[in-house]
Structure 1
C-alpha cells in the first residue's frame, strides 16, 4: 500500500514537473511560430518584446497560454503616426498539440486587460485597419491560424472610431466584454456581457450621445452562412434607463437588413431623467421623483444607398415630478406624449407628433404641442404657452454665483405649411416678453437692471409678404450706462429690415458678470447706428439701396486670451458707417508691445456680412514707431520661438501702405521700413518695399502665396545696396548654406536677385527648392584665415599670405534644384590671374575649379632648379605655369587637389617640358572639360537629394495640416481621461497616436 502511494505520488510529481517545464522547453519554438504567423498575416509595424512573453499550461489547462505586456500595431502610411491597437496585457490561448505538431495552430482564447483602439477612416475611404496582405488577384490571403476560440475577455479598453468618409465619430471608454461559444461552427450561440462609457457619438456634426454609461447582457445567435446576428431577450441600460432589445441584424450582399424591437423595462420617470445632460451626477440617487414612463418601438427594413428602414418610436410620461432635496420647489405635473414614425421607408416621410407637453416650474405652468406631418410639405401645428418667474426658476435650477429676477412670458402658435416655391408659410402668432429682468453676478457688485425684450412674430394669412418680426424694444442698464435697440423684419420673401442700436457697453463689467475662462477683456464701446434695407437688394447686388449709417467709438479696449497671449490694446478708435463703406478715421493701438496706428476704409461690407463668398474690400494705412514681429511667433513644443505659416483669407481685397521706424523680425533689425502691400485672392504682394538693414539698403518687390498651406510659395525681386557681408552671413540661412565663404569675408556687397521657392512650416525657405538668378557685385573685400586658403598655399607651396583682397568683382550666380552654380568669372588671387567656376549644394557640399596662371619663378628654388635642367626652351622664371586646383568636400572640411597632376613638382616638370608657352591653354581646357563632366554627375546627385527633401517637407506639412483635424480625436481622448477614474495600480491606458517604443524590438 505504501509503495503504491509512493508510485502514484512520484508519477504526479513527474507530471506536475513536466507541466511546469513544458513551456520552457518549447518556448522558443512557440514564440518563433507566433512571430512567423504575425509576419505572414499583418502588413504593419507590430511591436512587442520577446522577453515579455511568458507561457503557462495552468491558466487554461489543457490549453497553453502565451501572455505578453505592452503589445501594439502601428499603421502603414498615411497612418504611420497612428497606433491602431495598444494592449497593456494580453493572453492568447492555443491548442498545445496544434502548435507543437500541427500544420495550423488553433487559437482557443483571447484575453485583453487594458489598452486602446483607434480606428480611422479617411475621406477617400482608406482605413488604418487595412493591414492584411492582399493576394495577387486582389483577394485576401488565407492564413494559417485556425479559429477554435471558445472564450473572449476584454477589460478596461478604450475605443475611438473616426470615420471621416461617413462623418461618424464614436468614443467609448472602460469597455468590458465577455463572450463564450464554439466559434468553429457555422451556427452557434454566443452569450455576451458588455459595458462601456459612451463618451461621444456624433454623426454629420450632430451629437447624439455624450457621457452615458452603457451595459448589456444578451444571448446572440450567430449564423455565419447567412451573416445573420440575432439578439435574444436581454437586459440593456443607458445610465439608469433600462430597455430590452431583440430581433436581428443581417448583412446581405447589398446594405444592412434590420429587424429590431425595443422597449423600456421596469422604468420610472427617474430613469429617463438619467439621460438628461447635467442631471446624472453623484447626487442623482438622492433626487426626489415620481411618475411613470413608457418607451418602445421598432426599426425594420433594409438600409442601403436606395432605401431606409421604417421605424416607430414612442415615449409617454405621466404625472412626472422631480425635486432636488436641498431646494424648496419641484418641477411637477410633467406630461409628455411623443411619437416619431416612418411607415414608408422613405426618410422624408418621417412624422413627429407631440400632442401633449406640459409641466409646472413651481407655480409657473408651461404647456405646448407640436406636430410635423413630414419632411416634404412641412405641415406644422404647434403651440407653446407659459409664464416663468425667473427668481422662482432659479430656486428649482440654481445657477451658481448668479441671481435672476423678472418675468418671461411666451405665447406662440403656428399652423400651416411651409412651401418656399408657392410662397406659403404657416400662420404664426407668437409673443415673447422679458420684463424688468435683474441679473446679479457674485463676481461684480453692480447688477444688470431693467433688461427688457418685447418681440412679436406674426403672419395672419400664411402668405410670405405678411410675415413680420418686430423687436420693438431691447435694452438694459449697467450702472450709469445703457443700451437700447429695436429691429423690425417684414415680408419673408424679401426680408426688409429696419433697426437701430444706441448706447454704451462696458466690456469689462459684462465679462465679470458673465465670465469666460482664460480670457480678459475690458474697455467701452459706444455706438449710434441705424440700418435699413432688404435682403432682396443684397441678392440682386443693389447695395446702394442698403442704408446703414452712424458712428462707433472704442476707448481703452484690451483683449487677451490663451490664443492671443500678447494682448491687443486700442487706446481709441473711431469709425463712421455709411451705406457703401466704413471709414476708420482713427485707431491708436498697441499690439503686444508694439504701437500701431491705422486709418482707412472698408467697402462692400454689407455684402461681405450677408453673402458667404463675398469679398471685403478696403484700404489701410499702418504706421508704427517700433514693431516687434517676434512677439507673434508661435512657441514650439520644445519651448523655442518659431515662425509658422500664416494662411491668408481669399475673400479680402486690401491695399495697405506701411511705414515703420523700426521693425524687429527674427534676428534682423530693420530701420525706416516703407512699402505698399496688396492682399487679394489669398496672395500678399509687395511693391516698393524698402528698409535699412545690415549696414545697407534693401528694396524688394514680390509675393507670398500660401494658398497651398502645405507648400507656401514666395517670389521676390531684391535690390541690395552696401550690405555688410559678415552681417548677411549671420542673418540669412540661405547665405550660410550657399555662400559659407562669407564667414571669412569683410566688406560690403551689392546685388540684384530674383528669388523664388517654397517655404517650410517655420516660414524659412526650403533650400532645395530655391530658384535664384542674379549678379553679385563686390567693390572691395578681404578674405582671410580660412582652411581653404591654407590648403591652397600648402598644396601649391606658393609663398603667399593667408589673406586675399578682392576689388570690383561681378559674380553671376544661379540657384536651381538645390545647387548654387557659379559661372566662370575672372579675378586676381594674390598677384595671379585666375578663373573660378563651380557650385555649392544645399547639403553643404562644394565643387569648384580654380585655374591660375603662376610665374614659374614663384614656386621657389625647386622650380629654378628644374628650369636650369631644361635646355633648348625659352622657359624662364617669368614663364606662366597653368595651375588647376579642385575644391571638394565641404567648406569647413575641404578636399583640395591638383586637377591634372598628382603633385606640384610633377605638374611643373610636365608643364615646362611641354613648352608651356604654347600649350598651357590646351592643358587647362582639358582640365575644365573633365570638371564639367564631373559637375553634371554632381548636379544629378544633388537634384535627387533636393527632390527627396522637398517630398519629405511636403509630407510633414500635410501631416501638420491634418493634425488640425485630429483635435476632435485628442479632445475625445482627454474626455475619456477626465471621465474615467483610473485604478490606483494601473496607468492610463489611452495612448497617443504617435508611438515610439524604446528597447522594444519592432516586428515586421
Structure 2
C-alpha cells in the first residue's frame, strides 16, 4: 500500500512538473502562430508585449493570454490605432496545443479586458477597418491554413471597454463607453441560442447636434441563431434607455443586398415617469421621488432593407396627454403637458425622413406655452415650419426643474411667432425664402455671467419678425452705472441662432451714462486698476466679439473711461471680423471738442489701433494732465495756460486695459497753441533757463498762434524747428526727447544788444547810430537731462564779449574820422562811466562761440572769458589807444583825408 501511494505521489509530481514546463515549450509556438496569422491575413501592423500560457489555473483546459495587443493602420490611416486591448485571453482544450502548425486551433472562450475599438470613415469614403488581405486563389497550390483559428465559443466577455464610430463625410459620431458585455450559448447543429447581457453609455451626434449624451443603456437579449438562414431572432428581450424600459421583438436577417430588418418595440408601462426616465441623470436628480400624473406611450416599427442605397422604413410615435410632474424639493410643478410626436420614413429613402411635433404644450403657474414644429428633408437641406406661442417666466425654470444654471436668469418672455425656412436659405442669406411673422418681448430680464462684472438688466425689449428682417423696436437696459436704449434691425437672427453665422444689422444706441468698466470682465477690471498704460499684463485683453457684423450709430451724454469723462459722444461704428471702424466720432472733453476716426482691431493676440485725432480748444493743463499720451508727446506743455488745437495721426498697440502701449506708438502731430500765460513755477526746466537768461521772464511770454510739428516712433519724439517771440527776441526751438523724458534740445535766441547789460548800452549810446541799435547776437541754450532734472548750458558770456569787441571796433572807426579831441572825450567819458557797471552773467560757459567781425587794423589781445564786463571794456579801450597811437604815423594821411572830407 505504501508503495502504491508512493507511486501515486510520484505521478502527481511528474504531472504537475509537466503542467509547469509545457507553457515554456509551447509559448514560442503560440507567439509564432499569432505573428504568422497577422502577417498572412492582415493589412495592418499587429504588436503585443507578451504571450503567456497557463495550464494550472484553467485545468483541464489551457488558457492563452496576450498582453497589450495593438493593431495599427497603414495608409491612408497610417499611425492610427484600430484596436487596443490591455489583455485578451483564449481558453481551449489542452490537446489543441499539440496540433501541428498547419492545423487550426479551436477556441472555446474569449475574454477581452479594456478593449478600445475605433471604426472610422474619412471624407473620401475610405474605411480603417478593411484590413483583411484579399488574394486570388491558386488552383495549383493548396490553401494555406497554417496559423489559423477556428472558434467554437460557448462563452465570451468584454469588460470595461469602449467603441467609437466616426463618419467624417456624414459628420456622424457614435460612442459606446463603459461597455460590459457577456454572452453564452447552447449550440446544437445549425440552430443555436445565445443569451447576452449588455450595459454601456451611449452618445450620438450628427451635423454637430448632440442627440444622445452619455445615456445609460441596458439590454438583456435572448437570440435564436439560424446559421443556415443567417437569421437572428429576438425573443424575451428587454432593454433600458436610462430608466425607460423597452420591449422588442423581431429579427435581423443577412441577405446578399444587406440586412433585412423587422423589429417592433414599445414601452411596457404607460406612466409619464417613463418619459422622465429618458432624461440623463446629470440633468434630473432623484427621479424616483418625482411625483407624476398622466400617461405616456412610446411604440415603433422598423421594417425593411438596410443596404448601401436604402434604410428600413420606420414609424415611431410618442404621446402624452394631460400629464404633470413635480420634483419633491422644488416649489413649482409643470402641468397640462401634451406631447404628440412622430418620426417617420415610409419610402426607405433616407432623405424622406420627417419629424412632426404636432403638440408640445405645458404650463407653469399661469404661464402657458404652446409649440408646433415640423421638420423635413433632415439629411440634406432641412425644411423647418414652426409655431411658437406662449409666456414663460424664466425664473420658474429652476423652480420647476432641477437644472443648475451657471448664471442667474430671470424675466418674462412672451412670444407668438410663425417661421418657415430651409437651412440653405439661412446659410446663403436668401432672405426671400425665410418666412417670419410675429413678435417677441421680454421684460425685467436679469442675466449675470462671469464674463460681465455686473448683471445685465433688460427692463424692456420688443422685437417684430418680418420676412428677411427682425426689427428691434425697443431695448432698455442697465448694468452697473451704465444705461442703454437701442432700436434697429437684424437681418439674420435665425442664421446667428441656428448656425455659425454672424449677427448682422444696424443699431441706434443711446445712453445717458456709459461706463467702459461696466463691460469688462473681473480680471480685466483688476488689471485696469493695477497697471499703467505702458505695462502689458498676462491677463486677457478686451475683445471685440467675433460674432458681430453690424453698424452702430451711438449717442451718449457721458462716457466714463478710466479717469476721463467724455461728454456728448456721437458717431458711427462699423464692426466686423473683430475690427471696429470709427467714423465721425466727436466728444466734448477738456472744455473743448475731440474728433476721432480710424480702426481698432482685436483679431490678433495684441490689440492694435490706427487713429486720427482732431483736438479743438482743449484746455492745455487739463488735457496734458488727463491724457498720458499727450503728456508723453509734450511734457513741457502742461505749464501752459490756454487753449490747444491739434491733429494727431497715431498707430500702435493697446495693452490689456485697452490703453495705448506708449512704447509701440508712432505717428505725427500738428499743434496750434493759443495761450496768454506760462506758469513756470512748477517747471524745473523753465526755472533753470530763467536763472541763465536774466533778461527773460517766462511768465511774460505770449504764445499766441504758435504752431509746432512733431513726429514720434520707437519711444522717441522729434520736434521740428519752430520760432516763438519774447518781446523783440525771436527764439528758435528744436530737438528730441524720449518717452522717458530724456531731452536733447537747443534754443537759439536772437538777443538785441540793449538786453546785454549797461556797459553795452553805454557803448551803443556813444556810437549814436540807428544801425547800431539794430545789432543782435545769437545766444544758444543747450538743454539736456530730464524735464524734472534739466541740464542747461548757454554761451551768453562769450556772446557779450564778442559784441563788446564789435561795438568798440565800430566806435574806433567813427573816432578815427572825428579827431584826437573827440577820442579823449570818449575815452574819458567811458572811463568815468565805469564806476558802477551793471553785472551780467559770467558763470555759464559753453563750447559754442559766436563768430565776430575781424579787426585787421587794430592789434588786440585775446579775450579772457572769465573777465568781468568792466575789465573787457577797459581792455577794449586800451586796444583802441594802442592802435591809434602806435599807428599814428601810418594813419596820418588817412586822418587828414578824413578831415578834408
**Does TM-score exceed 0.5, indicating one fold?**
yes
Q: Over alpha carbons, which structure has the higher Rg? A: 2
SS at structure 2 position matched to 1:561: coil
The answer (yes or no) to whether the contact 2:46–2:69 under 8 Å persists in 1 is no
- Of the three residues 510, 513, 523, the one matched with 1:623 is 510
Report the secondary structure of 2:331's partner residue. coil
Name the structure 2 match of 1:908.
800
Superposed, 1:152-171 pairs within 5 Å as: none
Partner of 1:366: 246
Paired residue for 1:815?
A: 712
Q: For residues 234 and 701 of structure 2, what CA distance do their matches in structure 1 show?
A: 94
Change in 2 beyond 3 A, CA 1:801/1:686: closer
**Distance between the aligned counterparts of 2:524 and 2:514, measured in 1?**
26
SS in structure 2 opposite 1:597?
strand
TM-superposition CA deviations, 1:712-770 (whole Å, max 9, x none):
23222222111111111222110121211133222211122323222222211122332
Could you tell me how far 1:464 is from its partner in structure 2? 4.2
Match of 1:533 in 2: 421
Work out the CA distance in 2 between the residues paired with 1:584 and 1:498: 23
- The alpha-carbon deviation at position 466 of structure 1 amounts to 3.4
> Relative to structure 1, is the Cα distance of residues 757 and 439 closer, same or farther in structure 2, using a 3 angstrom cutoff?
same
Query: Where do residues 485-884 of structure 1 align in structure 2 (5 Å cutoff)?
Result: 485-492=371-378, 493-514=380-401, 515-535=403-423, 537-538=425-426, 542-612=430-500, 614-636=501-523, 639=526, 641=528, 645-649=541-545, 652-708=548-604, 710-783=605-678, 784-785=680-681, 786-798=683-695, 800=697, 804-829=701-726, 832-860=729-757, 879-884=775-780
Rounded Cα–Cα distance in structure 2 between residues aligned with 1:364 and 1:256: 37
- In the TM superposition, what whole-angstrom CA distance separates every residue of 1:828-859 from its partner, at most 9, and x where no partner exists? 24652100111222333222111111234534
SS at 2:596's partner residue?
strand
Tell me: CA distance 1:876–1:891, structure 2 relative to 1, closer, same or farther (3 Å).
same
Q: Secondary structure at the match of 2:801?
A: helix
Instruction: Please tell me whether the aligned partners of residues 261 and 305 of structure 2 are also in contact (alpha carbons under 8 angstroms).
Output: yes
Change (3 A) 1:579 1:917: farther
Out of 339, 343, 360, the position equivalent to 1:457 is: 343
Is the 2:542–2:657 contact (alpha carbons within 8 Å) kept by the matching residues of 1? no
CA distance in structure 1 between the partners assigned to 2:219 and 2:426 by the alignment: 46
Q: Distance in 1 between matches of 2:360 and 2:745?
A: 79
State the alpha-carbon separation in 2 of the partners of residues 764 and 537 from structure 1. 42
Structure-2 residue corresponding to 1:12: none
| Cα offset, 1:456, TM superposition | 1.0
Q: Give the conservation status (yes or no) of the 8 Å contact 2:527–2:656.
A: no
Task: Find the residue that maps to 2:446 and give its secondary structure.
Answer: strand
Query: Do the aligned residues in 1 keep the contact of 2:640 with 2:675 (CA within 8 Å)?
Result: no
Describe the SS at the equivalent of 1:600: strand
Output the CA distance in 2 between the equivalents of 1:880 and 1:353: 119
Task: Call closer, same or farther: CA 1:857–1:414 in 2, change over 3 Å.
Answer: farther
In the alignment, which of 197, 207, 220 is matched to residue 335 of structure 1? 220
Report the Cα distance in structure 2 between the residues aligned to 1:465 and 1:251, rounded to whole angstroms: 36
Structure 2 runs not aligned, ≥5 long: 1-44, 55-63, 92-108, 133-155, 159-180, 184-194, 200-215, 224-231, 534-539, 811-846, 852-901
Are residues 486 and 367 of structure 1, via their aligned partners in 2, closer, same or farther at CA, if it must alter by over 3 Å?
Answer: same
Note the alpha carbon deviations across 1:96-142, whole angstroms, 9 max, x for none. xxxxxxxxxxxxxxxxxxxxxxxxxxxxxxxxxxxxxxxxxxxxxxx
- Give the conservation status (yes or no) of the 8 Å contact 2:528–2:657: no
2:67 equivalent among 239, 246, 253: 246
CA contact (8 A) 1:297 1:313 kept: no
Task: Report the Cα distance in structure 2 between the residues aligned to 1:245 and 1:469, rounded to whole angstroms.
Answer: 48
Cα distance in 2 for partners of 1:856, 1:773 equals 38
Counterpart of 2:448 in 1: which secondary structure? strand
| Offset from partner CA, 1:132-154 (integer Å, 9 cap, x none) | xxxxxxxxxxxxxxxxxxxxxxx
Deviation at 1:390, TM superposition (A): 5.3
Residue 485 of structure 1 and its aligned partner are, at CA, apart by 0.7
Q: Over residues 752-803 of structure 1, what are the superposed CA-to-partner deviations in whole Å (9 max), with x where a residue is unaligned? A: 2323222222211122332333321111143212110121123345464666
Q: Is the 8 A contact 2:247 2:268 kept in 1?
A: no
| Gaps in structure 1 of 5+ consecutive residues | 1-225, 236-242, 267-291, 323-330, 339-351, 927-1004
SS at match of 1:511: helix
Q: Secondary structure at the match of 1:765?
A: coil
- State the distance in 1 between where 2:492 and 2:330 align: 40
Aligned to 1:410: 298
What do you get for the CA RMSD once the two structures are aligned? Answer: 5.1
- Alpha carbons 1:263, 1:297 under 8 Å: kept: no
2:198/2:218 contact within 8 Å kept: yes
3-state SS in 1 of match to 2:685: helix
- Asked if the contact 1:755–1:770 (Cα under 8 Å) also holds between the matched residues in 2, the reply is yes
What is the distance in 2 between the residues matched to 1:256 and 1:466?
Answer: 36
The normalised TM-score by structure 1 is: 0.54
Report the 3-state secondary structure (helix = DSSP H, G, I; strand = E; otherwise coil) of the residue aligned with 2:703. Answer: strand
**Structure-2 separation of matches of 1:503 and 1:598:** 25
Structure with higher RCO (Cα < 8 A, 6+ apart): 1
Residues 657-702 of structure 1: per-residue CA shift (max 9 Å, x gap): 1122222222111222222222234322222222211111122222
Distance in 2 between the 1:379 and 1:863 partners? 123
Count of residue pairs the alignment pairs up: 632
Distance in 1, matches of 2:357 and 2:111, equals: 41
Q: Which residue of 2 aligns with 1:484?
A: 370
Contact preservation (8 Å) 2:555, 2:570: yes
Structure 1 residues 896 and 356: alpha-carbon distance in aligned structure 2, compared to 1, 3 A threshold: farther
TM-superposed deviation, 1:355: 11
* Counterpart contact for 1:404–1:437, Cα < 8 Å: no
8 Å Cα contact 1:789/1:802 also seen in 2:
no
- The whole-number CA distance in structure 1 between the counterparts of 2:377 and 2:277 is 41
Determine the structure 2 residue equivalent to 1:978: none
The structure-2 alpha-carbon separation of the partners of 1:384 and 1:261, relative to structure 1 and needing over 3 Å to count, comes to farther
Measure, in 2, the Cα distance between the counterparts of 1:775 and 1:411.
Answer: 81
CA 1:379–1:744 in 2, change beyond 3 Å: closer, same or farther? Answer: farther
Counterpart Cα distance in 1 of 2:318 and 2:850: 96
Q: CA shift at 1:249, angstroms?
A: 6.7
Contact 1:738/1:844, CA 8 A, preserved across alignment: no
Aligned to 2:182: 316
For the 8 Å contact 1:683–1:705, the answer to whether it is kept is yes
**Secondary structure of 1:587's aligned partner:** strand
The whole-number CA distance in structure 2 between the counterparts of 1:337 and 1:818 is 81
Aligned 1:933-948 pairs, distance under 5 A: none
**Contact between 2:482 and 2:518, CA under 8 Å: does it hold in 1?**
no
Q: Give the 3 Å change call, closer, same or farther, for CA 578–409 of structure 1 in structure 2.
A: same
CA gap 1:486/1:827 in 2 versus in 1, 3 angstroms: same
Contact 2:110 2:157 in 1 (8 A): no
